[in-house]
Every structure is written in C-alpha cells, then in structure tokens.
Amino acid sequence: MDNRPRNELIAGRYEIRRAVGSGGAGAVFQAWDTQLQRFVAVKRWKPLEPIADDPAGTERLWREAMTLAAIQHPNILTIHDYGMDDEGPYVITEFVDGETLDQCIKRGPFDLAAFADAAQQTLEALIAAHQAGLIHRDLKPQNIMRTRLPSGAWQYKILDFGLARFVTRPTLQSLEGNTSIYGSILYIAPEQLRHQPLDARTDIYAMGCLYYYMLSGRNAVEGDTIPALITSHLEHRITPLAQWRPDLPPAICDWVMKAMAFDPDSRFATAAAALAALRPALPGGLRQTSIRITPAVRPATTPTIVIPPPPVITGAVPLPSPPRRAAPRWLLPLGVAIAGAIIGTVWLLRPRPEPAAPPPAATVTSWRDESLPVEDVISLWPGSIAEARRPLVQQYFEQLRDLDGPKWGSIGTVLETLAGLQYNARHNPRESRAFCNLTYHNATGRCLGEIDVVIWNVAAQRAEIVYEAVVSDQLNRKAVSSRNQIQRFIDAVKDGRAVRILYPYDATLKFEPSQFSQARPAILGNQGALAAGFDAEVDITRFETDYLQRRLIDWRKAKQARRKTAPVRPAD
C-alpha cells in the first residue's frame, strides 16, 4: 500500500485522505475535494516511459479522458478531473464505496435473477462507452464495483474505461506473482494476445469470461501458469457452462458461450446485440430501462464494414427490418499493456505459422494522378503519411472504395462518408441512423444547399443533429464559415423556403422539412477537431483525406473501365 502523506494536495484542490489500493499499475486514494466539499477517488498510473516526454502521447491520454468524462452513465465511473504532475498522470473520479465483483463472486455463484441484473447494467455501460468510441481492453471482476442504492437495489459500475493502456508495460519478471496481471490474463481475448486490431467484440469476449465466472464460480480458462492460461485462450479450452450449471436455462448457457467465441465474427457484434439476445433467453426477461444513449461525440476509426441500405422515410413510415451487415469493427486498434510482454516472451514458447508478408511499400515525395497504380492493397505511399498510419488509411480505402453512391468530388465527401459509416456501424438501425450529403430544395426544385451529415432518430422520425464537415490543417471553430451554411439551412426550414429534402443515393428517400425543426447544429472535423472545439471528429488528417480521395477516384475509374471492357455473356 502506498504510504503517501495524509493531507497532500493534488492540483491545489484534492486532499489525500487515505490509500484505497495499489498494485503494479498504480495506486488509488480517497481524497477530499476542498472546493465542492465531497469525497473523490484519485487514481495514479505508472505511465509508459515515453508519455511524460511525448506531447502526442500526453494529448492522446487527455483526449481519451475527455471522451470518457463526457459519458454520463450510471454504470460507468464518472470522471471529474484529470491532469499530470511530476509523479505522472492522474484521474479524479467519483468515490464508490462498495465491493468489487470479484469479492461478490467469491461468496458463491450468482443466481439467475442477480446475474440478469448485473449483465444488463454492465452491457448498458458497454453500449454507452462503445458508442463514444472507447473500448475497455481490461475488463475483469476487479474492474467492476457493486454498491447499494438507497432503494436497496444493487448498482454496478465499470472502472478504468479506456485508460488501461496507459499503465507500465510489464516485463517477464514482473509477470511472475503479479495477481493483477494474472487476473487480466483470465479475461483477455485471443486477438489481444495476437496483437490484432481490437473492437467492441474484444470487450464482449472479456464480459463472456466474466459472466461465465459469475454463474459458475470458476474461471473459463484454467492453468497454473501464465503460459498455460494463454494456451487455454488460444486453443479455446473452455468447458461448456452447462456442465457446471445444469440448472440454468440452456439459452443462457449458449448466450454466454457465444459471447466467448474464439472467432470475433462468431460473437455478438455489439453490446446492444448481446443485450437484445439476452432478453428472450431469460424466463422473466429484463427490466425496462429509461436510460437514453446519446449519439457518439467522437466517431472512431473502423476497419472494413458494409453500410446497409437506408430506410425509405416519407412522413410517418414503419421501422425498417434489420438489414444484414458485417460485424462492426469500429474502434481504435489499441493494444493492451500486457500484450507486448506476452507476445515477446510467452507466445514465443509455442510454434506458430509465420504470418503472410505484407506487400512491399514504396515511399514517394510527389506524384501525378496518373502515376498512382490501381491496386487492392496500397503499396505506394507519400512520405508525409507516417508508416504507423498507413494500415488505418488502407482500412478506410477498403471501406469506401466499392460504395456506389459518393462521387468523391471533394475531400469533404470522404470525411462525411467515413463519419456516416462509423456512426451506422455502432448503432442499431431501428433506433438511429446517419445520412450523408442530403440536399434541400425550394418549390421550383432548385437546390438551396447541402447538409453534410444528419443523425436521424428512427423511432421519433426526426433529425437530431445536422453536421457540417470541415477538413483543414488549421482547425479553428471560431473561423469555420460552415456555421453559416448550417444556419442557412435552419433559416430555410423556418421560413418555408425548403420544401423538400432529398438523399442523393436513393431517389425514393424523401424527408419533410418539419422533421428537421428540432435538429441541433454541429461541426464535424478531421483529426484534432475535438481539441479545437469542434463537436465531433474522424481520425484522419487533411493530407490523408486528400490522398485517399485520389485513390478512390482512380479506383472508381478503373472499375468503370473494367465494366466497359467485360465480355457480354450470351443469354441461355
């Protein structure tokens, strides 16, 4: 336990009262907020070596903390403040006086009713965080707390959301006897061990392992050593839950095992999908919730997804049937702290096939449009796109290249389409959708302007947010002329000049101006927009957007040329 002096002040405001817990990752203290006169928790991390001297690393930490602080959800620990001093980064949160889920389960497995309550609350927390672009990466019973409400009901809270990757990377020596690392290993997903991109399904796997432990009182993977546990994960040596709890409904056991599937594509695609599947599996169903999840503030990066066709909306229209869609992979591919040490030590102990070598990449300083080859995997990169960023740009390219709608006439179209895809990948199409490049027209049919991105409330049949997109190397909200474009649209709706609003990629889709009367205007930008005061951002730079636009145009031209030269098959 850290013997920090009592009454030490942090940020001139938070007075340390006592140590609550400590470990290899850092320490937690109870403190007194001298301004608001309340108890808070102070968590300090042992930072990665570069973070103190790396402004970019520090900025990433604060941006992620800002995103988390913006999430107001009863099942996620609330962040009040954050900062950095001579001892490293710290976060000020609400103080939760309760017990960890690990302490609860040690007294015995949960019955079905208690499990249903805990699962619903924790899944609702995941839904909120994932929609904001955050994955936890280190879900385990020690990171979930339970406390009694005045009503007598239990409330569960997930701790440390989005901040797990800022702890010290363990060495092989520190793995031995480190119970916190051991606990993480029990819930880590196979793709984390393999250093593959992470997304919402990574957290789904961890929650599946946690629910297995909650219902059986046993860990899903077993082993006496860390290498043995890793092997159990990678070979998926998991005893079916029904073997330990034959009294449970088979549908519940199947649900837990699906969440823990080895292949991410075989798991629930989102926390919302998992919650929807849990409801009919429970004999008594789930409680109805009044929690409203707001649209994500910060769109995050995505690998390849398929955008479903938009619903036809003309006045009051019934909800569309759920389209088939690829499993969304929409979160930043961030590694977990322990994975580096595991891959560098333990994973080398067992044979594995060599990965396929990526195609050779060349770097150029300039190019002409006709000098860029048309290829599935980009091999010619400008030096101004960092090597670490190229996989992300490649993913964007794969995500956008075969869309038939956008013409890629501007770099703004690239940003807007990415924002729409990312939003739709994270939301239930029965509840909320994003539409891009809508146009509004007067009574004569003349186009009065364009709306870059619209967040559409499907249930209420109205627009919630209208975004104008800005791509710039010098982001400054006060200097954005786009605010006037949004205001022109709002004025055209109010004074009746806008009589129809059209979606250019589907002629059957028409909106009524009255459906936009309550929409909130907002500004969307490229990387760095949130720090500049914008309302949302897509993780892509101005130069990357320009380069991607050129590649998409070349791909479209080559695709059209192939269609023209393709031989015509004779009719049977």
Task: Calculate the average pLDDT of the chain.
Answer: 75
Q: How confident is the model over 73-110, as pLDDT tens digits?
A: 889 998 888 887 877 788 899 999 889 999 999 999 99
pLDDT number for residue 282: 85
Residues 6+ apart with CB under 8 A from 566: none
Average pLDDT of the residues in 171-180: 37
With 70 as the cut, is the pLDDT of residue 490 above it?
yes
With 90 as the cut, is the pLDDT of residue 31 above it?
yes
Highest average pLDDT, of 194-198, 228-232, 240-244, 468-472, comes from 240-244
pTM over 0.85: no
CB 309 within 8 A of CB 404: no
pLDDT number for residue 570: 54
Using the 8-state DSSP alphabet, how is residue 282 labeled? Answer: S
Q: How confident is the model over 419-437, as pLDDT tens digits?
A: 998 888 878 888 889 999 8
With 90 as the cut, is the pLDDT of residue 247 above it?
yes
Split at pLDDT 50, 70, 90, the class of 199 is confident
Q: Which of 83-87, 222-226, 264-268 has the weakest average pLDDT? A: 83-87
Q: Annotated catalytic sites, by residue?
A: 138
pLDDT number for residue 295: 34
d(CA 506, CA 54): 47
Q: Which of 108-112, 139-143, 186-190, 289-293 has the weakest average pLDDT? A: 289-293
With H, G, I as helix, E, B as strand and everything else as coil, classify residue 457. Answer: strand
pLDDT number for residue 122: 95
Query: Which residue ranges form the domains of the chain, and what is each CATH number?
Result: 9-94 (3.30.200.20), 98-166+184-281 (1.10.510.10), 387-474+482-559 (no CATH)
d(CA 117, CA 552): 47
Average pLDDT of the residues in 226-247: 88
Residue 373: C-alpha distances to residues 40, 121, 153, 360 (Å): 57, 50, 62, 14
Residues 6+ apart with CB under 8 A from 564: none
**Geometric angle at alpha carbon 457, from 502 and 437, rounded to 5°:** 30
pLDDT number for residue 422: 86
Average pLDDT of the residues in 524-532: 84
Q: How confident is the model over 384-415, as pLDDT tens digits?
A: 788 888 888 998 998 898 887 788 878 888 99
Q: Which of 360-364, 384-388, 415-419, 509-513 has the weakest average pLDDT? A: 360-364
Q: How confident is the model over 324-339, as pLDDT tens digits?
A: 333 333 322 223 332 3
Report the share of the chain in percent with pLDDT over 70: 71
d(CA 453, CA 449): 13
pLDDT number for residue 250: 94
pLDDT number for residue 64: 64
Q: Both tokens of residue 172?
A: 């092989």
